[in-house]
Chains A and B, each alone.
Chain A
Amino acid sequence: MIVARREVLTGRLVLLVIVAITVLPFLSLLSAALQPSNSDPLGIQWPSDPQWSNFVDAFNVAQMPALLWSSILIVVGVVPIAVVISTMAGFAIGHLRIIGGRFIFLLFLLGLTLPFEGIITPLYYLVRDLGILNTKWAIILPLIGLYMPFAVFWMRAHFINMPTELSEAARVDGASTLDLFWRIHLPLARPALSALAILLSVWTWNQFLLALVLVDDPLQRTMAGALGAYQGHYATNIPLLCAGSLLILTPTLIIFLVFQRQFISALLQGSLKG
Chain B
Amino acid sequence: MDDSSLLQSSHRTNVATELRTRPSRRVRSSNVVGWLFVVPALVMYAAFVLLPLVLTVQYSLYHWDGIGPSQWVGLKNYVTVLTDPDLLGVILNAFKLIVFFTLLPVSLGLVVASIMRRVATGRFGTMARTILFLPQIIPLVAAGIAWKWVLSTSGVVNQILSAIGLGGVTRAWLGDFDFALPAVGIIGAWVLIGLCTILLLTGMSKIDPALYESARIDGAGAVREFRSITLPGLRQEIGVCITVTVIAALASFDIVYVATGGGPGLATTVPGLDIYQLAFAGREVGLASALAVVLFILVLACVLPIQRLARGDET
Does A22 have its Cβ within 8 Å of any Cβ on chain B? yes
- Interface positions, chain B 1-57, Cβ under 8 Å from A, are 15, 18, 26, 29-31, 33-35, 37-38, 40-42, 44-53, 55-56
Does B288 have its Cβ within 8 Å of any Cβ on chain A? yes
Once the chains bind, are B198 and A113 in contact (CB under 8 Å)?
Answer: no
Contact of B41 among A148, A228, A242 (CB under 8 A): A148
Residues of B within 8 A of A24 (CB): 150, 156
Contact of A89 among B37, B202, B295 (CB under 8 A): B37
Q: Tell me the complex Cα distance, A22–B280, Å.
A: 35
Residues of A within 8 A of B250 (CB): 115
Residue of A nearest to B250 (CB): A115
Q: Tell me the complex Cα distance, A206–B137, Å.
A: 8
Interface size class of B (residues with CB under 8 A): 35 or more
- Least CB distance, B171 to chain A, in whole angstroms: 14
Residue of B nearest to A23 (CB): B131
Once the chains bind, are B258 and A228 in contact (CB under 8 Å)?
Answer: yes
Residue of A nearest to B28 (CB): A99
Once the chains bind, are B156 and A44 in contact (CB under 8 Å)?
Answer: yes
- Which of B38, B193, B240, B300 has the most C-beta atoms of chain A within 10 angstroms of its own C-beta? B38
Interface residues of chain A, those whose CB is within 8 Å of chain B, are 1, 3, 7-8, 11-12, 14-15, 18-19, 21-26, 28-29, 32, 40-44, 85-86, 88-89, 91-93, 96-101, 104, 107-108, 111, 113-126, 141-142, 144-146, 148-149, 151-152, 164, 171, 176-178, 181, 202, 205-206, 208-209, 212-213, 223-224, 227-228, 231, 238, 241-242, 245, 248-249, 252-253, 256-257, 260, 263-264, 267-268, 271-272, 274
> A92-B34, A121-B292, A272-B237 provided; 15 other pairs, C-beta below 8 A?
A22-B194, A88-B41, A96-B30, A123-B48, A126-B52, A149-B45, A149-B49, A152-B41, A164-B18, A177-B29, A242-B149, A257-B130, A264-B129, A267-B136, A272-B199
Q: What are 18 A-B pairs at a CB distance below 8 A?
A: A15-B124, A41-B154, A96-B30, A96-B34, A104-B38, A108-B41, A121-B280, A122-B59, A126-B47, A171-B26, A202-B137, A206-B137, A208-B141, A224-B142, A249-B142, A263-B137, A267-B195, A268-B198
